[in-house]
Amino acid sequence: MQLLRAIGFFRGNILIFSATIGAGIFVSPKGVLKYSSLNVAVSLSIWAVCAVLTLISALSHAELGTTFPRSGAQYYFLKRSLGSSVAFLSLWIKLFTHPLRLATESLLLSTYTIQPFYAGCPAPELPKRCLALAILWSLGLVNTRGVRTVTWFQTISTLAKMTVLCFISLTGIVLLAIGEKENVARFENALDAELPDVSRIAEAFLQGLFAYSGTSILISIAGEIKNPGENIPKSLITVLPIVAVIYLLVNVSYLAVLTPKEIISADAVAVTWTDKIIPSMQWVISFGISTSILSNMCCTVLSASRMIYTASQEGQLPSIFSMLNNHSCPSMAVGQIIILTSIVIITSDLINLIRYSVLAIWFLRGLHMIGLLKLRYQEPSLPRPYKVPLPFVFGSIAISLFLILTPLIQAPKLEHIYGLVFICSGLLCYWIHVHLNQHSVCFFKITCSLQLLFNVSPPEDHDERISTSKKDLKSFCK
């Protein structure tokens, strides 16, 4: 029993497309334009710069997955470079941000699906939540079938959403090529608009970078990538420029049809765009949006479960989460992230988590780059199949500092204190975790019972270290 290296170059490209292109391109244009002070030129420039920043950060993080080609590479790298407490802190943050993001996307998807049946009035909360739970658990079942099943599902969904995005892009190009005065006027007067201040530009970047989040999917599953030293950086260089071009063309198409004020007042920009162009195709666009969100959620479940799997192997979570089913999938880790998300769906309202999820992502990326520099200094002879240039590393650190510190300095809010308290509570939980006895006989009995109930067993991967507690567990169960 072990995780299978079943993802090659083509499937890796599909996973990056699926993880990157989600709800962001249908939601973020509104936020980017709003914080750009309705300045079309600044808005499009931010989209282009976000693509460059994402590529720099993604290539910098590729060194993590190629140096330590194992699932949950980011977590393992932090533990190796900055210590167990920092690794646990990253685990603590992601155990909250992943379920919150999945819950938001589930509720958003269920709203898009149900709303047409309630024309003229908002859809009731109970059907939305029930459908969101059904969607979430269906994706959990797909993930428990193994990474090969996930990639087949992602291939189909990626083709569907790419078709919709290409249609939107080509329509915008045709409208501008025809040269109707109404469509071209917004771009002719773009430079005359008001310029935003620094804090608003930082907020606009947070909105734009949300649409590019998900590029670290291959690093999260590096233990299931064929020849990771070559395929991870090659896939990033291949896919991200294509995504950037599509995003720019889609935004140009939005602006060719809608005014900036119409865009920031729209709940779903793509649906409002369709109503103006071809109202009869609204169902097609809604299907594309739903497919994008669904495939993005599937990638989030895949990535989060591998993080839990690795943390369990390293002894910072119960060992049951590192056990595999007959499809070589850590099904208990998948179940854990699904249960946490279900609790959020049942108890919370649909909220906008773009800003805080991106801040958490870039906070962790800054820690990764600091760890990378430390490991290069301490272990210069460590085999590195792919070595990112140092300017990219320092650039990623600078981006993280800009995105995190600018809102704190320019416009401090009470929410920032909550975030600091949340991080400190993670360190407190780590202290409790370290000082508690994790190896009681009662704990082993519960683990063995769950192992028999769900038909899972410990992995026997010679590339990954089996902790002492896991050896004890094997002997106890025997």
pLDDT tens readout for residues 241-268: 999 999 999 888 888 888 888 888 776 6
Position 416 scores a pLDDT of 64
State the Cα–Cα distance between residues 213 and 135, nearest whole angstrom.
21
**Confidence check: pLDDT of 151 > 70:** yes
- Please answer whether residues 28 and 208 qualify as being in contact, where contact means their C-beta atoms are separated by less than 8 angstroms: yes
Of 80-84, 237-241, 433-437, the least confident: 433-437
- Please answer whether residues 444 and 473 qualify as being in contact, where contact means their C-beta atoms are separated by less than 8 angstroms: yes
One-character DSSP codes across 205-265: HHHHHHHTTTTTHHHHBGGGBSSHHHHHHHHHHHHHHHHHHHHHHHHHHHHHHS-HHHHHT
Position 137 scores a pLDDT of 92
Could you give the maximum distance between any two Cα atoms of the chain, in Å?
A: 78
Residue appearing with tokens 């194992």: 70
Mean pLDDT on 400-424: 72
At 370-394, the pLDDT tens digits run 888 888 888 888 888 888 888 888 8
Q: Which amino acid makes up residue 68? A: F
**Confidence check: pLDDT of 312 > 70:** yes
**Confidence check: pLDDT of 422 > 60:** yes
Position 443 scores a pLDDT of 65
Residue 238: pLDDT band with limits 50, 70, 90: very high
Residue 415: pLDDT band with limits 50, 70, 90: low
Per DSSP, the three-state class of 457 is strand
Per DSSP, the three-state class of 221 is strand
Residue appearing with tokens 């595999």: 324
Position 350 scores a pLDDT of 44
- Please answer whether residues 92 and 428 qualify as being in contact, where contact means their C-beta atoms are separated by less than 8 angstroms: no
State the Cα–Cα distance between residues 423 and 417, nearest whole angstrom.
10
State the Cα–Cα distance between residues 174 and 78, nearest whole angstrom.
48
Nearest to 251 by CA among 175, 176, 168, 189: 168
163 versus 180: which is more confidently predicted? 163
All structural domains of the chain: 9-477 (1.20.1740.10)
State the Cα–Cα distance between residues 358 and 205, nearest whole angstrom.
10
State the Cα–Cα distance between residues 439 and 444, nearest whole angstrom.
7
At 44-97, the pLDDT tens digits run 889 999 899 888 888 888 888 888 888 888 888 888 888 888 888 888 888 888
425 versus 243: which is more confidently predicted? 243
Residue appearing with tokens 């765009």: 273
* 103 CB-near residues (< 8 Å, 6+ apart): 132, 341, 344, 345, 348
Position 43 scores a pLDDT of 87
At 87-123, the pLDDT tens digits run 888 888 888 888 887 887 888 788 777 766 776 676 7
Nearest to 401 by CA among 31, 57, 37: 57
Going by the DSSP 8-state scheme, the letter that residue 98 receives in this structure is H
State the Cα–Cα distance between residues 3 and 146, nearest whole angstrom.
9
One-character DSSP codes across 150-206: HHHHHHHHHHHHHHHHHHHHHHHHHHHHHT-HHHHHHHHTGGGSPPP-HHHHHHHHH
